[in-house]
């Protein structure tokens, strides 16, 4: 009897010791699996345990600080069930708590970097700006078990591996574009998109708000743009648009997650929705029909008419008022229906209009054919020559090579959604490249950052968005954040494999590429 009890005790001891050991091993591998990979990581000793006694303390003067701390509490609350109260502190670090400190004196960390220390006793983050704290929080969340992403109460323990991390981004501009013109996606979908990209430390959401198939942003001076131009989409569905109030709400939501929204009005091509809404924008004064197909390059604003510039000015004025960020995207791609001698003066004049409303221009690489204004940015998507010309003119470049970053490209021949005019882009191909050595003559100093566009000719709902975007976007996020010397595909795919349970907990419907040794 006694013998049996003793052996049971021994068994219980052994089981709990090994499970403790495996927990520790599991969480150490969490440090090694972070995406984007931090600039530097040193493993520590033991683990920090989050409990129902844990509080979050902030030190520093900025009002945004409390909001960032609160966002951490909100992120962890549903699954842990912990209250995680937020308050200010000065003085001692006490065991069991999380400390967020803003101290503006570390130039290497910049606006978005952070120092994170996790010890057995407490978690401490320091950053120059609240944005740095926000990114540290994403790291902290990734170090917790994946089930922390679930929205229902889960069983702990909630342990994080002790470690010291120093981290900051390679590029200031790390983004994704969502085409809401070919198919319309509502405010809730776009908010989810913001949640997903910001979790991987992206800070830009470029919204492609107008195209041949739809106009998606309310313009008060030209109401028929949305009343008629927003009333359909590819395939003839009912389309939709954002009222200015809804759009402001989106911009605010993004801002809370340190994401800047860049609105794009594509012109002078890709404008059939506008041309169908107002006859006077056409050279022959007759409105076109709404378009439900997927061809490109057939439409153009009438660049010779004065009313066209009144239209552009009104649109840019209202858009600028809705945009706290510095950039307005004016498109400019694939204007095959515009004569070159009309395209150039049009682009020159539109750049002046944007400038007059206090904003900087971003345009697709074709804008290099015009005279690039100081502060304008060219987005490289397919034409290296245009992009080199933009650099010659002093512009910065956003790297969006279609062959690597176009999230609407099929993964391989069997992918049902998407297109393949640029390439098949498997998960390795989306990851295994370097922005500063892709185009001859375009080096790191010329590059503002990286952006992965999702064009939606073939994409109709959130599940389809997620399938095309994940996991490729995670790789692009790492390219934007982590130094290239820290990156290689063989090592990355092991880290990506660990993200499977997290993506599942987040409800992301991702493509389970055979190239990745997925772990449950």
| Catalytic residue annotation | 334
Draw the binding track, 323-362, toward ligand TNX (x: CB under 6 A; -: no contact). Answer: ----------xx----------------------------
Strand, helix or coil for residue 31: helix
Draw the binding track, 379-418, toward ligand TNX (x: CB under 6 A; -: no contact). Answer: --x------------------------x-x----------
Strand, helix or coil for residue 41: strand
Q: In this structure, are residues 133 and 90 in contact, taking their beta carbons and an 8 Å threshold?
A: no
Contacts of 476 (CB under 8 A, 6+ apart): 176, 405, 430, 431, 450, 452
Residue 42 exposed, middle or buried by CB count within 10 Å (0-12, 13-18, 19+): exposed
Nearest-approach distance from CB 177 to ligand TNX, in angstroms: 9
Draw the binding track, 288-327, toward ligand TNX (x: CB under 6 A; -: no contact). Answer: --------x-------------------------------
- Which of 121, 127, 25 is CA-nearest to residue 68? 127
Between 242 and 364, name the residue whose CB sits nearer to ligand TNX. 364
Radius of gyration of the chain (CA): 25
Segment holding 450, helix H or strand E: strand 447-454
- Which of 374, 381, 262 is CA-nearest to residue 333? 381
Q: Which two tokens stand for residue 35?
A: 């995406």
184 binds ligand TNX (CB under 6 A): no
Nearest-approach distance from CB 140 to ligand TNX, in angstroms: 36
Strand, helix or coil for residue 125: strand
Nearest-approach distance from CB 453 to ligand TNX, in angstroms: 7
Contacts of 498 (CB under 8 A, 6+ apart): 29, 30, 33, 519
Nearest-approach distance from CB 76 to ligand TNX, in angstroms: 38
Draw the binding track, 20-39, toward ligand TNX (x: CB under 6 A; -: no contact). Answer: --------------------
Between 125 and 378, name the residue whose CB sits nearer to ligand TNX. 378
The count of residues interacting with ligand TNX (CB under 6 A) is 10
- Which of 520, 507, 495, 408 is CA-nearest to residue 453? 408
Contacts of 339 (CB under 8 A, 6+ apart): none
Contacts of 520 (CB under 8 A, 6+ apart): 500, 501
In the chain, % helix, strand, coil (3-state, to 5) comes to 40, 20, 40
Between 167 and 464, name the residue whose CB sits nearer to ligand TNX. 464
Between 297 and 484, name the residue whose CB sits nearer to ligand TNX. 297
Question: Which one among 455, 470, 492, 510 touches ligand TNX, defined by CB under 6 A?
Answer: 455
Between 115 and 333, name the residue whose CB sits nearer to ligand TNX. 333
Q: In this structure, are residues 397 and 383 in contact, taking their beta carbons and an 8 Å threshold?
A: no
Between 167 and 408, name the residue whose CB sits nearer to ligand TNX. 408
Which 8-state DSSP code applies to residue 153? Answer: -
Between 168 and 433, name the residue whose CB sits nearer to ligand TNX. 433
Contacts of 483 (CB under 8 A, 6+ apart): 39, 170
Residues in touch with ligand TNX (CB under 6 A)? 296, 333-334, 364, 381, 406, 408, 419, 455, 457
């Amino acid at each position: 009897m006694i013998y049996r009890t003793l052996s049971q005790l021994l068994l219980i001891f052994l089981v709990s010791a090994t499970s403790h050991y495996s927990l520790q091993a599991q969480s150490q591998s969490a440090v090694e699996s972070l995406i984007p990979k931090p600039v530097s990581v040193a493993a520590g000793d033991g683990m920090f345990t989050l409990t129902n006694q844990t509080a979050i303390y902030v030190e520093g003067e900025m009002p945004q600080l409390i909001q960032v701390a609160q966002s951490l509490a909100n992120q962890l609350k549903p699954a842990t069930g912990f209250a995680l109260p937020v308050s200010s502190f000065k003085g001692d670090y006490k065991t069991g708590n999380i400390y967020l400190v803003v101290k503006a004196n570390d130039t290497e960390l910049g606006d978005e970097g952070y120092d994170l220390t996790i010890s057995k006793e407490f978690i401490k983050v320091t950053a120059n700006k609240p944005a740095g704290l926000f990114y540290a929080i994403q790291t902290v969340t990734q170090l917790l078990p994946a089930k922390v992403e679930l929205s229902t109460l889960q069983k702990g323990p909630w342990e994080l591996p002790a470690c010291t991390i120093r981290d900051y981004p390679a590029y200031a501009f790390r983004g994704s574009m969502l085409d809401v013109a070919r198919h319309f996606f509502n405010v809730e979908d776009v908010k989810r998109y913001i949640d997903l990209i910001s979790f991987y430390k992206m800070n830009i959401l470029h919204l492609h708000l107008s195209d041949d198939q739809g106009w998606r942003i309310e313009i008060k001076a030209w109401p028929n743009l949305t009343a008629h131009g927003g009333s359909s989409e590819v395939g003839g569905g009912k389309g939709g648009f954002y009222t200015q109030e809804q759009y402001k709400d989106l911009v605010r939501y993004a801002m809370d997650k340190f994401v800047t929204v860049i609105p794009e009005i594509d012109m002078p091509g890709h404008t059939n929705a506008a041309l169908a809404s107002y006859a006077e924008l056409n050279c022959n004064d007759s409105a076109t029909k709404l378009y439900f197909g997927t061809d490109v390059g057939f439409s153009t604003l009438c660049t010779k008419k004065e009313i066209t510039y009144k239209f552009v000015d009104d649109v840019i004025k209202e858009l600028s008022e809705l945009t706290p960020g510095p950039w307005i995207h004016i498109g400019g791609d694939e204007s095959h229906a515009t004569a070159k001698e009309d395209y150039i003066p049009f682009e020159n004049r539109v750049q002046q209009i944007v400038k007059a409303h206090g904003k900087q221009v971003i345009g697709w690489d074709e804008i290099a054919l015009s005279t690039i204004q100081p502060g304008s940015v060219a987005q490289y998507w397919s034409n290296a020559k245009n992009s080199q010309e933009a650099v010659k003119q002093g512009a910065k470049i956003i790297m969006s090579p279609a062959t690597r970053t176009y999230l609407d490209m099929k993964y391989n021949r069997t992918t049902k959604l998407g297109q393949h005019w640029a390439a098949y882009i498997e998960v390795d191909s989306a990851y295994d490249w370097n922005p500063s050595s892709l185009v001859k003559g375009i080096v790191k100093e010329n590059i503002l950052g990286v952006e992965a566009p999702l064009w939606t000719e073939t994409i109709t709902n959130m599940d389809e968005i997620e399938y095309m975007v994940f996991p490729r976007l995670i790789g692009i996020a790492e390219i934007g954040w982590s130094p290239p010397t820290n990156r290689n595909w063989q090592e990355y795919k092991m880290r990506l494999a660990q993200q499977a349970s997290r993506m599942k907990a987040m409800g992301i419907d991702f493509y389970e590429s055979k190239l990745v040794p997925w772990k449950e």
